[in-house]
Amino acid sequence: MWQPKPGSDGSYPVDKAKAISGEKLLRNIMSENKIELYAAYGKVMNCGGGGSCGTCIVEIVDGKDLLNERTNTELRYLKKKPESWRLACQTIVGNKENSGKVVVQRLPQWKK
Ligand code: FES
């Protein structure tokens, strides 16, 4: 099963997704940037962005000011998780006034 491997400096690879202003789902931005969102299991089992599988977890490394508040769905799935974790299909990036760069760590649940 695919999982992130630490680089030579021991840190995990971080992917950058640039959000242009306008409300866009983080899930869509990641797929437009060809950033793989799911591990092998989630690739097959994901709910297609419906907020019912909980497999699209990402960690927001930078740019959280650009995001919407956690939705009720996220509150359910991420209750005991760090605040920086989001479900990509529930996360809206940017609004009419602001845009910028969001840096995401994929699959934070694999990190030890
Ligand atoms: S894709 Fe299923 S909860 Fe996000």
Q: Is residue 3 part of a domain?
A: no
Q: Taken in order 80, 84, 89, 95, is the CA torsion positive or negative? A: positive
What CATH number did the domain enclosing 68 receive? 3.10.20.30
d(CA 96, CA 83): 24
pLDDT at res. 76 = 94
- Give the pLDDT of the chain (112 residues) as one tens digit per residue: 455 566 676 666 666 666 555 678 889 888 887 777 777 767 778 999 999 999 899 999 888 888 999 999 999 999 999 999 999 999 998 776 666 778 888 877 766 5
Q: Is residue 9 part of a domain?
A: no
Give residue 77 CA to ligand 1 midpoint distance, Å. Answer: 10
For residue 100, give its domain range. 15-110
pLDDT at res. 107 = 75
pLDDT at res. 106 = 81
pLDDT at res. 36 = 78
Q: Is residue 1 part of a domain?
A: no
Q: Is residue 5 part of a domain?
A: no
Confirm if 19 and 91 have CB atoms less than 8 A apart: no
Q: Is residue 87 part of a domain?
A: yes
Residue with the smallest CA separation from ligand 1 atom 3 is 51
Q: How many domains is the chain partitioned into structurally? A: 1
- Please give the structure tokens belonging to residue 67: 């995001």
pLDDT at res. 103 = 84
pLDDT at res. 63 = 87
Residue with the smallest CA separation from ligand 1 atom 1 is 49
pLDDT at res. 94 = 79
Identify any residues that bridge with 19 across adjacent strands, giving them in sequence order. Answer: 100
Give residue 86 CA to ligand 1 midpoint distance, Å. Answer: 10
